Amino acid sequence: MASDQKIDQTILLATERYKRGNFACLPIVREDLHLVCDLDILFLRRENPGSLISGGGDLDNRLKVLFDALRVPQDDNEVRGLEPADQDERPLFCLTEDDRLITGFRCTTDRLLEPADSEIDQNNVRLIINVEVKATKLTPENMGYFSHF
């Protein structure tokens, strides 16, 4: 078997348990790999500095939505009516298997100076997220994540 075919087969097997609707999801941080992660988030928004509660939603709710978006959908209902745009979206890579694998985060807010294209875009934000993946137990399966040491 050619190496590309072997890789494709491995990915297919890994995504089988994370199939949601028409999406074959593949989380990077998974419990079976004994991995967790910390996030360092730079949250750029158009509100004035210090305006943590605004028309765009308070920061707590926005972070909860972000954490939900970074995980594998919990069930088919979360992707109902959605289709992958093309084959390049297979698998759909997700950061975590479950948002409880995010063990810590730091969020810094600042002003997004770029003007909105329209009034609808006024509440859009820009995020810069650094992820630190950590092993809770070193195993042969997760050593590839840490091969740079």
- 51-85 exposure pattern, b = at least 16 Cβ within 10 A, e = fewer: eeeeebeebeebbeebbeebbbbeeeeebeeeeee
Q: Which of 63, 61, 67 is nearest to 43 (CA)?
A: 63
| DSSP conformation class of 126 | E
- 3-class secondary structure, 30: coil
- Virtual torsion, Cα 134, 136, 140, 145, nearest 10 deg: -10
Taking the C-alpha atoms of residue 37 and residue 27, their distance in angstroms, rounded to an integer, is 12
pLDDT for 148 equals 60
pLDDT for 122 equals 84
Which tokens belong to 91?
A: 């698998």
CB-based contacts of 86: which residues, under 8 Å, 6+ apart? none
Q: What is the pLDDT along the chain (149 residues), one digit of tens a residue?
A: 567 777 677 777 778 889 998 888 999 999 999 999 999 999 998 877 666 555 556 788 889 999 999 999 999 898 898 888 777 667 889 999 999 999 999 999 899 998 889 988 888 889 999 999 999 999 998 888 876 65
pLDDT for 102 equals 97
pLDDT for 81 equals 87
pLDDT for 2 equals 63
pLDDT for 4 equals 72
| Tokens 């759909």 found at | 92
98 class by beta-carbon count within 10 Å (0-12 exposed, 13-18 middle, 19+ buried): middle
| Tokens 């399966």 found at | 141
Which tokens belong to 20?
A: 């949601």
pTM of the model: 0.81
